[in-house]
Amino acid sequence: MNKPCIIANWKMNFDQMGIERFFSRFSLDNVVLERCRAVICPTYVYLEKVKSLIGDKELLLGAQNISSEEKGAYTGEVAASQLADIGCRYVILGHSERRRYFNEDNELVNKKVKLAIKNNLFPVICLGENYREKEDGLTKKVVESSLRACLNGLNGFQIKKVIIAYEPVWAISTSPENVEGVADSPESAQVVHKLIKRVVAELFDEHAAEAMMVIYGGSVTPANIQGLAAMDDINGVLVGGASREADSFSKIIRAFI
């Protein structure tokens, strides 16, 4: 579980040809990939396509969201059990774009986290402050409050499945708040990651905090990855745009191994 975790969030990008082109250029072999957990998260419609192209590579399949309901008459939704059934292992929950555009809050994320774990998926819980909150000095307060709410009601066994992705909203390349396309500094992100592990220790225990994977998301590129990877409590990254180029994604993976 303590292998670094590098997650590609392809968002609503790529068609079949683009996905095939990515895999034709992705050259990391299993000797390298076995030293980390590298996860590809395409849109729902291409999950099976990506699964077939992964083949025997040591890459893992993830989804970008799940329904907050187990099953039933919820047109357009996709259940956690259905994703697990086709081979998904991971699911991104509470991404800032889901929060901004679809009004998802911590309570809903918490419900999805429990459903993910129930269906043997690793939930990747995204949380972070926006620009105004950062400028007002509220980063730690916002992150701790979101973390406690998203982990509410989980037990010691369930927390072992959870990955936290700290993604300061103002640092996400596609965010309207990030007009300059800059990431958080490694040192600043490290402070927040350390805070997250402290809160997990308070809620559960020191062992849970030590085992917890806390990854960073927000304008991650090959240019800044070495600094992020050098931090003690940054256990991986959630990568957006840079994950859609096979070469840049490979460089990001190599930085952690």
Question: One of 95, 97, 104, 193 is an active-site residue; which one?
Answer: 95
What are φ and ψ of residue 46, in 5° steps?
-110, 10
Tell me the C-alpha distance between 186 and 225, whole Å.
9
Is residue 70 among the annotated active site residues? Answer: no
Closest CA to 192 of 235, 128, 238: 128
Is residue 167 among the annotated active site residues? Answer: yes
Tell me the C-alpha distance between 86 and 55, whole Å.
14
Tell me the C-alpha distance between 113 and 125, whole Å.
8
Is the separation of the CB atoms in 27 and 59 below 8 Å?
Answer: no
Bridge partners of 40?
8, 61
Question: One of 97, 129, 167, 193 is an active-site residue; which one?
Answer: 167
Closest CA to 201 of 129, 147, 238: 147
Which pair of structure tokens corresponds to residue 197? 């592990």
Which pair of structure tokens corresponds to residue 55? 């083949």
Active site (catalytic) residues: 95, 167
